Each structure stands twice: as structure tokens, then as C-alpha cells.
Chain A
């Protein structure tokens, strides 16, 4: 039976907001949205089991809103499904909501979202600006069976969640093509980095086509430009007229011959090179929207068709022509697109670099014979031979031999890591001097390198919230600009002539001046640079992160990291090495060391807690035989218990002993002394009656933790440490790390870690959580930015928005610095993009900008924004590292 839950949500204003929330929440597997109410600020969802609050939060945030108080509280409520009503689309009058297209039917949309169980990524070809992006998003989102569609302008992809029973990937491709663009499905199961091969090929072909058009346009535009030089303007048409008269007889007017030559040169440019803009204009018009194509088509057409009339309509034959304006404008726009494509290609260099790390072949043992095979043919379970100087081809576990392996290309760690039997090796790392054999465990798309490439690709394809700013502006830009252009035209035509001296019109009539000013406004105002401002910076930023061993999994994580005001570090495995060693064993009367240790070690064999490793390692060193445990139970935050050799054993902290009713008063002084020294004391209770002994282990601080925390404090971030350890132990470690006692969150149960994060968030702080274990997962999800250590559990890495491959806390600082640099770059880009538009429009409206120059400026604005983003590649972490590349 389904349960219904109410979730309070802040920030919804209208039906469009409600629909966004509905679409995003419906994308959570098993969740059906019963209602979303913008006025009251809540949504009601139905699910068989209580949904993961982190997933609910992620869906709400992805829709552009926030759970009330920053925390998702699922309040179970009774709810009856209301009669379906058709809501007015986009009834937002606040202008504060994310812009979404009107859906054909909200009920269908909600059903589509709920059934959208498949996901496809399409490579899009032919987008020029964020308006194109909006057109494709609208087109896809309006299709019945599509749950959500996100289009990224920078890496030219569309990620679509859809119902495979309703439509296919081919339908999605057909819809994009019908919208005037090209699309190719990306094979996400392909070898790492090759998913976009078909798209790259299509894009290369598209770029080649654009190059041909550019050369074609330029070839015809240069003579047009030269014809504007007075001496050539005078002589060339005369020579042609004389030739025509000699050849064909009759009389030829050089002025008309000049117009015919211009017409002959400009027409192929307009009809062939300009055809793509007319197609785009038409497709946008069909969808009642506008894009860069709209502006270019209107701008060039006004110049071209006026000139056409001035050439062939007898009454207008005395009027001048502007064929060069339309042709040069198209040439500049195509040149701008080419330069932009070239620059955009460089923003994905990080992926290419990562792919270059992969070994091409592997030497595997098959039928006792070593043979070289392409790396794609290595199977899980194959025994692979690695010789000195060779790259490790895939991931696996060493079965024979030993060596040192340079993992710096993936982890940044400059010191080669010793590998011996039983150790894991990572594909793409470099073997140094020794030889070894390993059994392949992960191949193809499963390898660590492939996963890293996939994560980076996904992050580069994600849309940062700041992008919505550009989307909103772009959505209204085209109609506003066309309106401004018409206004400019009318003012120049009807108003200006009343106030200026007639000599002002000595060279051009009021109509001509009005036409040129209006055309320049249309052309200068194209928002293409605005659309590139965010995604190009995000692409370079995430790529730069990958180069430094920081996997930023989404644009949102990258953006939020710059706002971090507080960071909570999990202690074990994050601030410390996470591999504590046994330092002290104290026995109660009548017990012997080996037996007490054997009881504890036998229990810990079944535990995943890092402290267990110290106990097991210690037991292994002493070659202890560990008997089987019956009735094993791990009690989070307390310890473990079970029956060993017929003895009921409880091994854990004070709380466990208290729960067992075991008196530890006699050991309290010793326990305190050990804990004061930063050691973790674990108590061994037997038969629920008495304490048999205490075992102390110490986990040492990582070498770089102190340096990283000092740096974080210096850049104004409050640093906290969270641990289940008691306060004294925690404070001892915190003191070593440089964390003030007030910022030590000790004795926190795993299930309460998320609450501690929420407490800081309730103070208005943007909080990052750094952790590595399963127990950190809720806190990682609760935090504004979850930062997972690469050596941690898979689930922690999946939950974290940022993954640090090197386990080096200095990378937390680098991630924040990179985020700050990226956001700064995005703001700079907005300045450039909006600067061009906001300065260019008045200049053009005042008649001070020729349309062809407006075209050049427009092209330059896109190039300058992409170039500005590329400068982010100069980013260097402030904290020195031996392996910094």
C-alpha cells in the first residue's frame, strides 16, 4: 500500500514552478507526485516505501527550489487524489520563476515524468545560442513520454529521461531534427570517452560544412567590400559596363551595373550561406520563439531585400543598395561560429587528456601463453602481466610479484605506491621497476578511469543553477530586441527628421538611416555570448578539477562550493589515515591478553568499522586463530556483539557497556588517560556481566590535514570535525589538526551526523561535509556540498557532489578555490556578454554602428567569452604539491 508524504518547499511562485517540482520529483524511482502547491509551498508524493530524503532534496534543488529550512522532512499524511484539473500554462507574472514551456497537458506531463524510466543522451549539432538550447528543451519536454530534458550548450548534448514504452531514442532524434537541428544518439555503454564519437564526427562534418560556407561567403564578400572603395566603385562598374556594351550592345548604366554586380555577389551568400539562418528562423517561428537565427535572418534580410527592391523596382532604382552589409554580416556570423566551435572544442581537453592515459594493449595469460591483446579485449578474470615501464591496462588485484606503481596520473600522488600480492592496481597507472601479474576485476566501462571520464562528462553536461540567469535573459531577449529594433526604426524614420537639419540627410534618406540603425540593433543584440558564459566556464572548471584529482560531479556542486562558509570533516579516514593501530591492551583480573584479544578480534572480523582493521591486523601479526562468531550484530555508534566460543562478548564503547549493564568504574581513570591522549578505547565485556579488558587504538592524523585546515581557516571557512568518538579523544585529534574545541562535534551517532549539518545550515551557513564512509552518506546528502574521499565507499562517492581521488585534504581547499575561480569567471563572462549587448544596443540605436560592424562585434563577443573561460585553464592550486601538474 502506498504511503503519502508532504514535503515543504520554498520558492515556488506559479504553475510553472509546480510543474517543475512535479517533473523532478516524479523522476525519483517509485515516487508519484499527487500535487504540488505553489501558494502553500508544499508537494505531496506517494510511494510504497519512504523515499530517500537526499533524493527528494536533490530533485527539489534540481527544479530550482529549496526544501523548507534546507532540510527535507517527509511528513506522512492522508491524501486523496484530487480531480485532475487543467492548469493554465506558465501563469507566472513574477518573472522570478524558471522559464519552462507550456505543456500540452499537465496530466500527461506528470504521467510522462512518472513513467520516464530510461535515459538517453543525444549529441546536438547546430546550436548557436542559449535560445537554441531553449528551443530544443521545449521541443523535447513537450513530447508525451518525456519526463525531463536538459540541453547543454557548451558540450552540445541533450539528456532526456523518457518512457521507453511511449517513445524511442529515434523519436527523440526526429523531434530535434524537426526543430531544425541535428542530433545523434550517444552510446553511453561505449568505451570510456567514446560515447560522443558519433557526435564528434557529425560535429566535425558540421564544422567542415561551416568552413566551406565561410570560404564561400568570404570569397564573395571581399569583392563586395572592395566595391565600397570609391576608386573601385567608380571604375569597376564602368569597365564592366563597357565590356557589356561591346559584347552585347545596347547601353549600360554603371550605377545599375554596380547594383547588379553587388546583387550577383550577395545573393549566393544570402541564399546559400544564409539558408541555415532562415531554417532556424522558421523552426523558431513555428515554436513561437526566437533565437540567434531569428536576429541574423531579420538583420540580413532587411539589408538584402531592401537592396533587392532598390535594384529591381523601377520606382526605387535611384535608392542606394546595401548588399555588402548582408553578405559581410553573414560572413562574420559564420566566422564567429567557427571560432566559437574551435574554442569550445578546447574546453573539453580534460577528457581528451584523461583518455590519453589509457593503455592501448594488454599482455594476458591465456592457455598458459602470454599474448598481447587490445585493451578492449581484456576480460574480467584474465590474468594480466605487467612489466617494468608498462602501463597497467585495467583494474585488478595483484596475484604474483611486486612493484612500485606511479598513480600520479589519477591521484596526483607523486610517490610510487608499493604493490604486492593482494593489493589493488588501477588501470592507466604506470608500473615502475618490478614485474607482477594481476587478475583483472574491472574492465571496459567499469574501470576507475572510465568512471572518472564518465563523471567528468556528466558534470560538464550538467546545468549549474547560475545558468538559469542566462536562460531567463535569453528567453526574453529576442522579442525584446526585435521590439527595440522596430522602435529604433520608427524613431529614426518619424521622430528624428523633425529635429535635425536637412543637411543631415545629404547622403542618406531618413528611411535608409532608420533601416541601418534598426538592422544594427537586431544584429548587435544576439545573446549567443550570454548562453556560453556559464557552460564553457563549468566545462573548463570541471576539467581542471579532474586534472587535479578532484572529480566535480555537477555544475551545481561546482557553483555551490564557492559559497561554502563551514566545512565539517569526518574524523576517521578523512582527517586521519583511517587505519588506526592497536597501542594498548589493559586486562581485568583473571584474563589473559591473547584470549581477550581473540574475543575482540573474532567479533571485529565481521565489522566494517575502520577500528576493526587495527584489531584484525594486530591479530594477524600474532597469528591468532579466530573462531566463528554466532549471533553477530553491529550496533551503530555503540560497537559489536556476538557469541565467541560460547562466551557472549560485547566489544565497543561506554554506551555499549552501559547497555549491557557492565560496570567500568574501576577502569575509568585509565580509560580517561588513554582518551586524553587521543586514543580510542574499546571495552571488552563478557557474558553481559563484567569487563574483561580494554583495547586502545590510535588513528594518526594525515600529513596534510593540518595544513589544509589552516588554509581553510585563513580563507574564512569555519572548520568542524565530527566523530562518534568521545569528546576527549575527538578534541585531542582536533587539537593536532588545528580545530578549536568549540568546533568539535563529538559522540555523534551516524544517524545524527546529518542533523549536525542541518544545524549549521539553519544558521544560514553554506555547509560542506567531507567524509568517506557509509555512515557519512546522510550527512553528505544533507550538506550543500558533499565531498567524498576517493578511497571511501562507493555509496559515499555516489552521494558526494565532489570526489577527491587523492584522499588529500588540501584538495578541499583546491576545490573551493577552483569553484571561486570558476564563479568569478562566470561573472566576468556575464560582464563581457551583457557588456557587449548593453553597450552595443544604445550605440546601434543611436545610428553610430554599422550593421556589418555589429555583426563583427557579435562574433567577437562569443569568442571573447569562450577565450575568457579558457583562461581558467591557468588555474593553479594555491597549496603546493609535489605532484602538481
Chain B
């Protein structure tokens, strides 16, 4: 009887190893091995609401946009996109700002073809002073946007 129970314990232990192994297999198989994030999730830098803010009061012209106030937790870029059905489209303006508060930042625009623009704040995490962001590989780019309250720190602006 004792012998049987010993055998049972060994078999149970072996099954335990198999179970944990299967769990590992499951975990590893369903996991994405490159650590990427869904494009519609939070794929940039997370900041607190009182550390990252963007305020734009007036509409933009075809040549220029003025950002009234921007607060950034680090050196950053103000990036202006065409509105592509509510999502950021082609980039039409870019201006670098320092960490902290910046007021009345003017951004030169070109090739504006939509009646609305999307302004976002991207971190300058790559080579300083170079905008290291590619729409083809957004998650692999170092200069990704800031996210506040799980939403991209961005404002939609009318074009006059």
C-alpha cells in the first residue's frame, strides 16, 4: 500500500512538472514575443495629467498654428498631422519644445489639405533634436507621443 502511494506521489509530481510546463507553453505561445503593443492601446509614454498638457484656443491657418500653452515632462515635439478620418494623417508641421511649460509656440505648416488638423505632443527620446518617428514603425520609434489618462495627448484644431 505504501509502495502504491509512493508511486502515486511520484506520478503526481511528474504530472505537476508537465502542468507547469504546459502553462509555460501556453503563456509563451499566446504571448507576443517582440513585446509590441496594439496600435489602438497605449503605445507611447504615459504621463500624469498635471505633467503633460496641451492648450490651443484658436484655429490654424494654412501656414501657421499657435499653441497657447504646452506642458511637457521632457523635451518634446509638437507634431501637426492632417486629419485622416479622425486619425493622424500626413505630418504637416513640427516644432521642438523643451521640457516644462512653453507658451505661444508657433508652428509653421505646409501642404495643409484638410479642414481640421490634429496636434500631438511626442517625446524627444531618440537623438536629441531629431524627430525619430516613423509611421511605418510607430512602436519601434523612440519619439512616440505622450499619453494621459490612456489617451494620446492631442487636440483637434480647425483650419481657417
- A: residues with CB less than 8 A from B are 225-226, 228-230, 233-234, 238, 241-242, 244-246, 249-255, 258-259, 317-318, 320-321, 324, 328, 332, 335-336, 339, 342-343, 346, 507-508, 512, 850, 852-853, 856-857, 859-860, 863-864, 866-867, 870-871, 873-874
Q: 0/1 per residue, B119-143, Cβ < 8 Å to A?
A: 0000101000000000000011010
Q: Does B13 contact A (CB under 8 A)?
A: yes
On whether the beta carbons of B6 and A228 are closer than 8 Å, the reply is no
B1-51 interface (Cβ within 8 A of A): 3, 6-7, 10-11, 13-14, 17-18, 20-21, 23-25, 27-28, 30-38, 41-48, 51
User: Are A241 and B46 within 8 A (Cβ)?
Assistant: yes
> Contact at A343–B35, with CB atoms within 8 Å?
no
The answer to the question of B92 belonging to the interface, with a C-beta cut-off of 8 Å to chain A, is no
Task: State the CA gap A507–B28 with chains docked (Å).
Answer: 13
Instruction: Evaluate contact between B42 and A507: CB separation under 8 angstroms.
Output: no
- Residues of chain B within 8 A (CB-CB) of A258 are 35
Q: Is the beta-carbon distance between A332 and B30 smaller than 8 angstroms?
A: no
Q: Are A251 and B74 in contact (CB under 8 A)?
A: yes
Please give the distance in Å from A868's CB to the nearest CB on chain B. 10
From the candidates B7, B17, B43, B48, name the one contacting A859 in the complex (CB within 8 A): B17
Given contacts A229-B30, A234-B37, is CB(A867)–CB(B24) below 8 Å?
no
For B42, B125, B146, the residue with the greatest tally of chain A CB atoms inside 10 Å of its CB is B42
Residues from chain B with a CB closer than 8 A to the CB of A242 are: 46, 48
B82 at the interface (CB under 8 A from A): no
A254 pairs with B74, CB closer than 8 A: no
* 30 contacting pairs across A/B (C-beta < 8 A): A225-B23, A225-B24, A229-B30, A229-B31, A230-B30, A234-B37, A238-B42, A238-B46, A238-B150, A250-B47, A250-B73, A250-B74, A251-B123, A252-B45, A253-B44, A254-B37, A255-B35, A255-B36, A255-B37, A258-B35, A318-B140, A335-B17, A336-B17, A342-B13, A850-B25, A853-B21, A853-B24, A856-B24, A857-B21, A863-B14
How distant is B10 from chain A, measured CB to nearest CB, in Å? 5
Distance between Cα atoms of A863 and B13 in the complex (Å): 9
B28-A850 in contact (CB<8A): yes
Of A252, A512, A853, A870, which contacts B7 at CB under 8 A? A870
Question: Which chain B residues numbered 105 to 160 have a C-beta less than 8 Å away from chain A?
Answer: 123, 125, 139-140, 142, 144, 146, 150
B52 interface contact, C-beta 8 A: yes
Question: What distance in Å separates the Cβ of A236 from its nearest Cβ neighbour in chain B?
Answer: 12
Query: Which residues of A are found within 8 Å of B51, using beta-carbon distances?
Result: 245, 249-251
Nearest chain B CB to A839 CB, angstrom units: 16
Residues of B within 8 Å of A508, CB to CB, are 33-34
> In the assembly, what is the distance between CA of A234 and CA of B123, in Å?
21
Closest 5 CB pairs of A and B: A856-B21, A251-B45, A228-B31, A241-B46, A228-B27
- In the assembled complex, the Cα of A437 lies from the Cα of B18 at a distance in Å of 59
| Residue of A252, A254, A507 contacting most chain B CB atoms (<10 Å) | A254
Are B14 and A860 interface neighbours, CB within 8 A?
Answer: yes
Alpha-carbon distance between A253 and B141 when the two chains are bound, in angstroms:
12
Q: A83 vs B32: C-alpha distance in the bound complex, in angstroms?
A: 70
Task: Write out the residue numbers on chain A whose beta carbons fall within 8 Å of the beta carbon of B125.
Answer: 253
Whose C-beta in chain B lies nearest to the C-beta of A231?
Answer: B30
* Distance, CA A335 to CA B19, complexed state (A): 13
| A248 nearest in chain B by CB position | B48
State whether B47 touches A251 (Cβ < 8 A): yes
Chain A residues, CB < 8 A from B3? 873-874
Bound state CA distance, A14 and B41, in angstroms?
69
Which of B27, B44, B146 is packed against the most chain A CB atoms within 10 Å?
Answer: B27
Once the chains are docked, how many angstroms separate the CA of A313 from the CA of B96?
25
CB distance from B155 to the nearest CB of A (A): 18
A249 in contact with B48 (CB, 8 Å): yes
Query: Which one, B18, B24, B28, B46, contacts A252 given CB within 8 A?
Result: B46
B45 & A852 in contact (Cβ 8 Å cutoff): no
B140: chain A residues within 8 A (beta carbon): 318
In the assembled complex, the Cα of A246 lies from the Cα of B52 at a distance in Å of: 11
Residues of A within 8 A of B37 (CB): 234, 254-255
- List of B residues within 8 angstroms of A321 by Cβ: 35
**What are the residues of chain B within 8 A of A228 when measuring CB–CB?**
27-28, 30-31
- The complex places the Cα of A226 from the Cα of B28 at a distance, in Å, of 10
> Is A870 a contact partner of B123 (Cβ separation < 8 A)?
no
- Chain A CB count within 10 A is highest, among B33, B41, B52, for B33
CA distance A550 to B101 in the complex (A): 90
Instruction: Assess the B7–A225 pair: CB atoms within 8 A.
Output: no
Q: Which residues of B contact A332 (CB under 8 A)?
A: 17, 20-21
Chain B residues within an 8 Å CB radius of A251: 45-47, 51-52, 73-74, 123, 146
Whose C-beta in chain B lies nearest to the C-beta of A318? B140
For residue A253, which residues in chain B have a CB less than 8 angstroms away from its CB?
44-46, 125, 144
CA A860 to CA B22, docked complex, whole Å: 13
- A contact residues around B27 at 8 Å (CB): 225-226, 228-229, 324
Looking at the assembled complex, report how far the CB atom of B21 sits from the nearest CB atom of chain A, in whole angstroms: 3
**Nearest Cβ in chain A — how far from B108, in angstroms?**
26
Which of A253, A328, A336 has the largest count of B CB atoms less than 10 A from its CB? A253
